[in-house]
Structure 1
Amino acid sequence: MEKIFLPRVNDLHFHGRSGQVLKDILPFTSEVCSHALFMPNIAGNEIVNARRVEEYRAEILKVCNPLFSSCEPLMTIMITPKTTPPTIEAAYNAGAVAAKIYPRGGTTNSENGIDDWDSHQLMAVLEKMEELGMVLCVHGELVYGAPEKIEVYGQYLGVLNEIEPSKREIRFCPIISKWCQLFPQLRIVFEHITTHAAVSLVFSLPKTVSATITVHHLLVTEVDVMGSHLNPHLFCKPTVKGYADMAALRAAAFSGNPKFFLGTDSAVHTKSRKEECGCAGVFSAPVFVEALIELFTEFGQLDKLPDFISNFGADFYDLPRASQTISYRREPSLVPGRIKESYVPFMAGKTLAWRRDE
């Protein structure tokens, strides 16, 4: 097969940033997507109310003009400890289709995230979302647990409550299960899952619970990030895991189960920021479709790709399925080392087997 046609993508987890960065990176997404779900953790100006939903959408549309683009932005609001049911309802009426929970201190720009998972206010917010039909998107990691006295070989190390990064997603799974029981009609997306435990959980829960999977978690393990040397451009949150977890993610993506669909979590930082302070995020927008074609082709699962990248996500979010297709041809394509001098894309310097037709 030398040419294939795929529906326009629904990227249901995208970090568009703002200002000049938005202008620099949005074309990579808008050229191939039917919809993109924009994350609300904008540095210094988070999307936390209806006014910010409207302002951010207006900023996006100035770059991604609907008269010239087939990509529709989908808006979200960030849930903070100050969020109330009226806040959520106003954001919904302003066009937000989903609300996002970040664990406090667990990822980029999450200082105003949640750390009280049983608060009455949070429960009231989730109840309002269930009533409105909004989707709950969750960065599912438990960053802080109950304080524990740590003693190793008789040496007292202190009282610690921060959970090791590799265990945070697994520790969060019971919270997803609890919310599913408390709010049976609430649609929940367990975002960018990375572990076998998360895959198993999503399979076991009702159809109101789905999960997004990123391209980098399907292709990269912790060996790639910190094997022979540290590669800051592959560092992300949640962290990539080992081979067994990657195999579980691939099995889910190849399964044809509508609970699992694409959310790239493409999150750009400048080269200097990645290399100087190790900001979490992988910039996959320029290459994710071609990389997925290669992966699904390698394992004989190409027929499952349209559902994974487009149809299943549209169905879960009650969006129209993409009516347009884009053609890709089998032809070597070198991924540039840098884009616009400032950004290092996923798979920089590597050669992909497919490229998009112009």
Structure 2
Amino acid sequence: MSADRIILRRPDDWHVHVRDGDMMKVVLPYTAAQFGRGIIMPNLKPPVATAADARAYRDRILAALPAGMSFTPLMTAYLTDGTDPHDLAQGFRDGVFTAAKLYPANATTNSAHGVTDIARIEPVLERMAEIGMPILIHGEVTDPAIDIFDREAVFLDRVLAPLLERHKTLRVVLEHCTTADSVAFVRAHAASGRIGATITAHHLLINRSDIFAGGIRPHLYCLPIAKREAHREALVEAATSGEGPFFLGTDTAPHALTAKESACGCAGCFTAATALELYAEAFDKAGAIDRLEAFASLNGPRFYGLPPSEERVALDRTPTKAPDLVLLPDGDGILPFRSGETLNWRFVGVV
């Protein structure tokens, strides 16, 4: 590895939205070009709630892969108040499900079917703990009395800490961490080996002020929303530490331009077009480019009990331009994160 080229085991994306239908055909190749595997988010309409739903969705993803591309979708179950623990466990045993996703109801995009009260799914949680099935948590409370910038920190105290106490063997991934509070929480429980945390590229690169730089920038609006600079710095420190509980999850979340730039815009940043370039930039700025492989390629597989990839990919320190607009078949488009800007790194591919 030289100062101008980095070679690492092919990474995996442990939190990715590839959508469905025509949009999936457009966005999936970006993820498949860089990542070997991906934890597929289940918040479709209707949600991917059963093993049969997941099988059908996995088939659609594989059918949408361009010829010659290699990518393994790892499916998740969308937990609802009515989730059947037997179907969930059977899907996990059959290798259909890798994990289950907990969306507090109405916490984010397409989460209206989410769990209204975690007490309603205690039998499901007990079964998951028993069989070693990880639960992936969107860690925010939805109480309207709680400020949007405080919802992650409150979730840790109100929901996650009691959950871990009630279920001593439950394996948990705190998704898309955005606060120093989450970093400290994960570290405090790291010795148990049963908690992990994904960190996005955009939360490593922006803080909440960036959303309002020169005006409202809807394409930087995501949930959980970006926080103060001190929180961004804590995320960078955690991601670049090399510590096992922290690993890559882009939470790339494509929305059509018209859905983002509207009176009530959708939450999500589309980072898949230049995901590894963005992570490389964050690690490079922190003087920790040598630790990118641990975060991107090793920590996630270790948590999930999977082997790391034997393939290698390369990135060069060469200026590259993020796409201006990704067109959709209906004439609409998706604006990538850092659209039209010059990035310092270029993804070369498998080497």
What TM bracket, shorter-length normalisation?
over 0.9
* Alpha-carbon distance in 2 for matches of 1:305, 1:238: 23
Structure ranking higher in strand proportion: 1
1:168 partnered with 2:144: no
Query: What is the aligned-residue identity percentage?
Result: 37
Q: SS state of the match for residue 211, structure 1? A: strand
What letter is aligned with 2:184?
S
Where does residue 212 of structure 2 map in the other structure? 226
Deviation at 1:101, TM superposition (A): 0.4
Amino acid of the structure 1 residue aligned with 2:290: D
1:94 to partner: Cα distance? 5.6
Q: Distance in 1 between matches of 2:177 and 2:205?
A: 13
2:130 and 2:225 mapped to 1: Cα distance?
Answer: 34
Which residue matches 1:137? 136
Does the 8 Å contact 2:273/2:323 carry over to 1? no
The aligned counterpart of 1:47 is 48
Alignment-derived partner of residue 343 in structure 1? 334
SS in 1 for 2:112: coil
Separation of aligned partners in 1, 2:122 and 2:68: 41
Change (3 A) 1:182 1:219: same
1:213-246 residue CA offsets vs partner (Å, 9 max, x unmatched)? 0000000111111232100001000000010000
CA distance in 1, matches of 2:118, 2:58: 29
Counterpart secondary structure, 1:328: strand
After TM superposition, give the deviation of residue 297 of structure 1 in Å: 1.6
d(CA) in 2 for partners of 1:218 and 1:196? 12
Q: Which letter does structure 2 place at the counterpart of 1:164?
A: D
User: Over aligned residues, Cα RMSD in angstroms?
Assistant: 1.4
Q: Could you tell me which amino acid in structure 1 is paired with residue 161 of structure 2? A: S
* Aligned pairs, number: 338
Counterpart residue type for residue 78 of structure 1: Y
**Which residue is 2:231 aligned to?**
245
CA distance in 2, matches of 1:103, 1:210: 19
Distance 1:324-1:190 versus aligned 2 partners, 3 A rule? same
Letter in 2 for 1:310: S
Contact 1:184 1:208 (8 Å CA) reproduced: no
| Structure 1 residue 292 corresponds to structure 2 residue 279 | yes
Correspondence 1:11-90 to 2 at 5 A: 11-42=13-44, 44-64=45-65, 68-90=68-90
- Deviations 1:1-44 (Å, cap 9, x if unpaired)? 222212211100000100011110111111111110100001x2
| 3-state SS of paired residue (1:73) | strand
CA distance in 2, matches of 1:259, 1:327: 24
Q: Contact 1:189–1:210 at 8 Å: present in 2 too?
A: yes
Question: Within 2, Cα distance between the matches of 1:71 and 1:94?
Answer: 16
> Residue type matched to 2:278 in 1?
A
1:333 aligns with 2:320: yes
Cα distance in 2, alignment partners of residues 326 and 94 from structure 1: 27
What stretches of structure 2 of length at least 5 have no aligned partner? none
Q: What is the alpha-carbon distance in structure 2 between the residues aligned to residue 229 and residue 204 of structure 1?
A: 38
Q: Tell me, what secondary structure is at the counterpart of 2:98?
A: strand
Q: Which runs of 4+ in 1 moved over 6 A?
A: none
Task: After TM superposition, give the deviation of residue 79 of structure 1 in Å.
Answer: 0.4
* CA distance, structure 1, for counterparts of residue 6 and residue 234 of structure 2: 27
Check if 1:125 corresponds to 2:119.
no
